[in-house]
Amino acid sequence: MEGRSRIPESAQNGPHEQLAALIERRGGQGYRKPVAPYSADAFTRFAAKCPPGAPLIVDSCCGTGESTLNLAAAFPDHFVLGVDQSADRLSRAPLPPANALLLRADMADIWRLLHEGGYRPARQYMLYPNPWPKIGQLARRWPAHPVFPLVLALGGTIECRSNWRIYVEEFALAARLISGLRSPVDMFAPAVPITPFERKYLASGHTLYRCVLECGA
């Protein structure tokens, strides 16, 4: 995390030209890959602490959990679930407060389990997801992933941040194509960074972008 970081380089100069076709081809079909046992175990631990009706915030791909702890402090009346697949990153997390839980799991599984379990988060965060900026990597980006319609169906206020504007544009475009939601992509400058990547990008002088969707209850 030391030193200057680079803005993702890509041959794209706007949203991927195949994104709309990919979403249309899927026609809202669900993501059928079996849930990984380690994700299911992690979800069971979460469900034991937080019932479906409780006010919930989901911090997807939370890395070292710094944002999860910041969100737990900012929203003390919510339970904040931070999920990352990297045991190494999570091993650097401090002990979470009573209203937060950090889990090692695959987000693609957790979103599905949350939806099946009747959870409807008040807020969801997608903070600096891996950009996968090469043209051929489109399907690895969350807005192009077959689980993305379920992220939208979970609802709440959904915020995506990145230092790669095109990622956030694809997030906004996918939301419009799938759910008819329209929301702008804005530049923003947080007074205090809430994640390690946010801090690193600000220190490197990058412009940050975000899109906030209001998906309702």
Ligand X SMILES: C[S@@+](CC[C@H](N)C(=O)[O-])C[C@H]1O[C@@H](n2cnc3c(N)ncnc32)[C@H](O)[C@@H]1O
The residues that bridge with 103 in the sheet, in sequence order, are 83
Hey, which residues between 113 and 172 contact ligand X (CB under 6 A)? 127-130
Rounded Cα distance, 8 and 4, in Å: 13
Minimum CB–partner distance for residue 192 and ligand X (Å): 14
Applying CB under 6 A, among 72, 106, 148, 168 the residue interacting with ligand X is: 106
Residue placing its CB nearer to ligand X in the complex, 15 or 63: 63
Please give the order of strands across the beta sheet that includes 56-60: 100-104, 79-84, 56-60, 123-127, 157-162, 208-214, 186-188
Q: Which is nearer to ligand X, 88 or 217 (CB)?
A: 88
Contacting range for ligand X; rule: CB under 6 A; set: 59-67, 69-77, 92-100, 112-120:
59-67
CB 134 within 8 A of CB 164: no
For ligand X, how many residues bind (rule: CB under 6 A)? 20
CB-CB contact of 215 with 183 (8 Å): no
Q: Least distance to ligand X from the beta carbon of 40, Å?
A: 14
Q: Pick from 195, 209, 211, 215: which binds ligand X (CB under 6 A)?
A: 195
Q: How many other CB atoms are there within 10 angstroms of residue 95's CB atom?
A: 8
Contact residues: ligand X, CB under 6 A: 61-63, 67, 83-86, 89, 106-108, 127-130, 195-198
